[in-house]
């Protein structure tokens, strides 16, 4: 049976009791940043919460025998690439790393050994990598880094070009928002915002904003609107499929984190 608790709703003694049973703690990490004229500033947080909810339902439906503690979401992340647009609120990379480390310090102090960092904003990936390594080195925690945008979507959900180049506010994010928070989507502003990456790829260039060799970019470098991808092609049905698929993958990650034999580590945290 799956037991899911929200960290901040527990008392100290309740949390200590759960910690003694070797649960998994999950920290959602998002951002408050511009998503063009059609999506709200909290888009990454809404999507992250929706996927976490879907993962929890998947765990319950499967009857997985584990305990999951969901930490309060870190809603402001590292969004330097979007600071050229109104509404973006960003931590520096150093601040974001420090905040994740501080939260992880509290997790370790409670006696918890397993932590999943679940990220719904691409700009957070580098800081998650560094913060996770520090937490491993300092406390011997098992720290798992899960970025939903690296999860495989259903094979026929979106065209390959859109998946490759619709990096921000395109059909993928807009579809999920149409499913999770339809009233928040400004439908009259939906449009196709072509990315510099897509334009370069069509000329045969292999150097783009992402890939095996990518250049650093600000959002306005890829499109003047700060959005890349065809938001006009989004629909709620696709969004529901995406959220479900990403939730299933996150559930699998949580299960594997719970089952991970810490004795496989030869050093810190091996028990």
The pLDDT of residue 266 is 77
What CATH number does residue 46 fall under? Answer: 3.40.50.10310
Q: Is the pLDDT of residue 268 over 70?
A: no
Q: Please, which residues have CB within 8 angstroms of residue 160's CB and are 6 or more apart in sequence?
A: none
The pLDDT of residue 59 is 98
**For residue 235, is it within any domain?**
yes
Cα gap 262→40, rounded to integer Å? 41
Taking residues 126-144, what's their average pLDDT?
Answer: 98
**For residue 242, is it within any domain?**
yes
Per residue in 227-261, pLDDT tens?
Answer: 999 999 999 999 999 999 999 999 999 999 999 99
Answer for the pair 96, 117: CB distance below 8 angstroms, yes or no.
no
**For residue 172, is it within any domain?**
yes
**For residue 268, is it within any domain?**
no
**For residue 269, is it within any domain?**
no
**For residue 20, is it within any domain?**
yes
**For residue 267, is it within any domain?**
no
**For residue 271, is it within any domain?**
no
Confidence of residue 52 (pLDDT cuts 50, 70, 90): very high
Could you tell me the residue range of the domain that residue 129 belongs to? 3-262
Confidence of residue 269 (pLDDT cuts 50, 70, 90): low
Q: Whats the size of the chain, residue-wise?
A: 271
The pLDDT of residue 267 is 65
Per residue in 88-134, pLDDT tens?
Answer: 999 999 999 999 999 999 999 999 999 999 999 999 999 999 999 99
Taking residues 68-76, what's their average pLDDT?
Answer: 98
Per residue in 148-202, pLDDT tens?
Answer: 999 999 999 999 999 999 999 999 999 999 999 999 999 999 999 999 999 999 9
* 94 CB-contact burial (10 Å; exposed 0-12 / middle 13-18 / buried 19+): exposed
Question: Count of domains in the chain?
Answer: 1
Task: Dump strand ranges (E) for the chain.
Answer: 2-6, 24-29, 66-70, 114-119, 142-147, 192-193, 229-230
Taking residues 203-217, what's their average pLDDT?
Answer: 95
Q: Is the pLDDT of residue 271 over 50?
A: no
């Amino acid at each position: 049976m799956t037991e899911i608790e929200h960290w901040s709703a527990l008392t100290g003694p309740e949390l200590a009791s759960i910690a003694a049973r070797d649960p998994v703690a999950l920290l959602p990490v998002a951002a408050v940043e511009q998503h063009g004229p059609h999506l709200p500033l909290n888009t990454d947080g809404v999507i992250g919460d929706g996927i976490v909810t879907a993962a929890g339902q998947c765990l319950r439906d499967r009857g997985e025998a584990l305990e999951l503690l969901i930490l309060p979401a870190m809603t402001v992340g590292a969004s330097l690439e979007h600071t050229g647009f109104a509404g973006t609120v960003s931590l520096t990379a150093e601040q974001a790393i420090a905040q994740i480390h501080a939260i992880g310090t509290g997790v370790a102090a409670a006696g918890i050994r397993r932590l999943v960092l679940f990220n719904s904003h691409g700009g957070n990936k580098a800081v998650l990598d560094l913060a996770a390594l520090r937490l491993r080195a300092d406390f011997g925690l098992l720290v798992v880094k899960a970025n939903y945008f690296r999860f495989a979507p259903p094979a026929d959900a979106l065209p390959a070009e859109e998946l490759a180049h619709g990096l921000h506010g395109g059909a993928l994010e807009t579809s999920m928002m149409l499913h999770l928070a339809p009233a928040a989507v400004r439908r009259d502003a939906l449009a196709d915002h072509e990315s510099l990456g897509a334009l370069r790829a069509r000329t045969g260039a292999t150097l783009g904003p992402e890939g095996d060799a990518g250049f650093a970019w600000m959002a306005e470098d890829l499109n003047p609107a700060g959005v890349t991808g065809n938001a006009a092609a989004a629909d709620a049905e696709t969004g529901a499929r995406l959220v479900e698929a990403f939730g299933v993958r996150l559930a699998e990650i949580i299960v594997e984190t719970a089952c991970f034999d810490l004795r496989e580590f030869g050093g810190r945290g091996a028990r």
